[in-house]
Structure 1
């Protein structure tokens, strides 16, 4: 009878077990990495959806405010404009009747001017509140910018402002409601010129247009005193203004016009003030490719 005295190969068995353990650990790590990637993807997706929801809620709240403002504007148009028209008519009649009494005639003219100012406020409120019904067509950016400057030319000349055009491509086009964009540009150019009226240094208005991918970027820059940081965050809010005159609706209307096209508007003040108090401001309008534009 023979006895098997050969010892089992424990080292080989341990190696096999270590190999199996290593495979298990590798598989666990792969699963963990996949789970982490899935978690990161889901987290990013949740964040994206939350941002979309916040944006949609903001748009809904804005629509509600506009609807309320629209009702108020309709009431203003009915209750205020008719009396204003009567007051303006009577003031003009007084102006004619008081031709031989200069002090009283001056008062009548001041009344007429005040009525025109109130009527402008009513017009701005109505413009801001009414729905933006776009009539999009292909428009040449160069023509849009130059036509807007031409409208403000008397004010530009009176203020001693020099105009620089920096249009990347004279044939560049955008699909937009040309009249609404024209209105927005005229408003921005007027604001820029008004900002430079009391400036002692060079008064330069730079009107620019360029492409950024499929988007068209239009900008209006001035060499005025600039805009304070505290004001920049509120600059497009209805009824907010940094001037002693005006309704504070001009830039809010521009914001609505651009937003109706699915575009964006931004403002920044480059650099620090110069010795003459000039810092300047740049308003940038970005219009998406026409396929992305939306009606409001």
Structure 2
């Protein structure tokens, strides 16, 4: 409508200008009215200036409108004085278009902030980056996982894990990989999954990274428990009858020997009975030993449900030090306790955690035999991810790398009289607390067991 009014206005102005020009030439050639001719000439000049101003005014408004769209500046408005003129109607139309753009932009910004909120709220680390490693987006979970405030390029993660950086730069669309990262205080098993997409002819990789160490250990522990239940069940079913029969036969042989003695039977029969009785006693002894062995490993599947309470860690560690003080003193071991802050508290089953730490301290005492300046440090603090941590550190002989990976496996032990369930039991107790236990060792330097809650 505004365009039609503009066209009519322009046509009228053109006709009036053409009429004025015709009158000017008519007066010039046909009359001697000089003054009138001058007035008509001035009228023509005024009409030309007015038409130029009218068209230029429209162009300026149109140019401002197009610049607003080009630079996404929708704060500009066009002042409408009256709706009677076509020019003001044009302004009104422009204002309505700008208002529509403002609504669309506001909706897009709301969607953007909504998406940002969702991304930041997700507990899985997300990184969007280009093929050259330039990072375009990370969420809070990424900052927490890698302990960074910002990340501009994937190469900046080399200090954390060169293997992870290499995988992120070479990973393909839809690929899922597992990266193992060993820190001094924690072991991370990172599951990495990548999705590739394009924006404005740019290839972007959106990668999710999740630490699945807890899930892997949970499944591993469940598998061991199922295996132990099956083995103990089958062994008990086989050994119990043997133990019972050997006891019964032994009693029968004793009665038989008594009868032979009363009947004055030859001595060689007594010797044979004695040999058989000795063999049966050996069988009975071994079956009792196997039964004890099986009952010991049943402890891995019969850990009581933790009774949680909040208690100061200082009370726990100083109590353990007091319990083992005499033994440490006899071996010349110096025990140091370091808690930061001193008021640190934890929600756990105090008795179960005490059992775990005592077992680890006793292992450390054995590792310190024959060492100079033997020292055990009981240390507690909040780690860099804000989790309560207790460490048992000794300067003993250390654990070989090929052994370190196996020490939490049930039945595995390097001690001649060891059962191989102590560390497995400790790991399971920590799992019941929603925590974890890891080991780090440098041969002939130190060994560090870390309990994380």
TM-score normalised by L of structure 2: 0.44
Matched positions, count: 257
What's the counterpart of residue 393 of structure 2? 221
2:63 maps to which of 3, 6, 14: 14
Q: How big is the shift at 1:261? A: 1.9
2-structure distance, mates of 1:182, 1:170: 18
Any stretches of 5+ residues in structure 2 without a counterpart?
1-14, 18-46, 75-100, 126-207, 251-282
2: CA distance between counterparts of 1:154 and 1:83?
A: 45
Distance in structure 1 (CA, Å) of the matches to 2:446 and 2:212: 36
User: What residue is the counterpart of 1:2 in the other structure?
Assistant: 16
CA distance in 2, matches of 1:182, 1:82: 39
With over 3 angstroms needed to count, the CA separation of the structure-2 counterparts of 1:78 and 1:42, relative to structure 1, is same
- Confirm or deny: 8 A CA contact 1:132 1:260 kept in the other structure: no
Of residues 207, 211, 214 in structure 1, which corresponds to 2:378?
Answer: 207
- Deviations 1:85-124, CA, capped at 9 Å, x for gaps: 999xx9xxxxxxxxxxxxxxxxxxxx9x999986775354
> Cα deviations across residues 54-98 of structure 1 (Å, max 9, x unaligned)?
9558635643542342343344456558978999xx9xxxxxxxx
Q: Pick from 340, 343, 366: which aligns with 1:194?
A: 366
Distance, in Å, in 2 between the alignment partners of 1:75 and 1:151 is 39
SS of the residue 1:217 aligns to: strand
Match for residue 102 of structure 1?
none
Residues 54 and 223 of structure 1: is their aligned pair in 2 closer, same or farther, counting only changes over 3 Å?
A: closer
Aligned-residue RMSD, C-alpha: 4.7
CA deviation vs aligned residue, 1:236-265 (integer Å, no higher than 9, x gap):
232344555523322111111122122232
- Counterpart position of 1:185: 357
- Mapping of residues 72-111 of structure 1, within 5 Å: 72-76=231-235, 79-80=238-239
**Which residue of structure 2 lines up, in the alignment, with residue 286 of structure 1?**
452
Could you list the runs of 5+ residues in structure 1 that have no partner in the other structure?
91-110, 288-296
Equivalents in 1 of 2:348, 2:302: separation in Å? 18
Q: Which residue in the other structure is 1:130 paired with?
A: 302
Q: Are 2:348 and 1:176 equivalent residues in the alignment?
A: yes
Q: Distance in 2 between matches of 1:82 and 1:167?
A: 54
Output one character per residue of 1:179-205: Cα deviation in whole Å (capped at 9) or x when no partner.
322221221011111212243x22111
CA distance in 2, matches of 1:228, 1:184: 22
* CA distance in structure 2 between the partners assigned to 1:253 and 1:80 by the alignment: 25
Conservation of the 8 A alpha-carbon contact between 2:242 and 2:287:
no
Query: 1:241·1:248 contact (CA, 8 Å) conserved in 2?
Result: yes
- Structure 1 residues 22 and 184: alpha-carbon distance in aligned structure 2, compared to 1, 3 A threshold: same
Which whole-Å deviations, capped at 9, do the CAs of 1:206-242 have from their partners, x for residues lacking one?
2234567996533211111223445444432323445
- Structure 2 distance, partners of 1:47, 1:211, is 22
Distance 1:221 1:188 in 2: 9
Secondary structure at 2:358 match in 1? helix
Aligned partners of 1:176 and 1:168: how far apart in 2?
Answer: 18
Q: Distance in 2 between matches of 1:120 and 1:196?
A: 30
- Find the partner of 2:218 among 47, 56, 59: 59
2:317 matched residue in structure 1: 145
> Bigger radius of gyration, 1 or 2?
2
Q: Residues of 1 paired with 2:224 and 2:306: CA distance?
A: 20
The 1:227/1:40 distance shift into structure 2, 3 A limit, reads: farther
- The question of whether the paired residues in 2 share the 8 Å contact of 1:74 and 1:126 is answered with no
Moved more, 187-196 or 203-212: 203-212
Work out whether residues 81 and 122 of structure 1, in 8 Å CA contact, stay in contact via their aligned partners in 2. Answer: no
Specify whether residues 57 and 221 from structure 1 end up closer, same or farther in structure 2 by C-alpha distance, changes over 3 A only: closer
- Bigger share in strand: 2
SS at match of 2:409: coil
After superposition, the Cα gap between the structure-2 partners of 1:210 and 1:39, relative to the gap in structure 1 and judged at 3 Å, is: closer
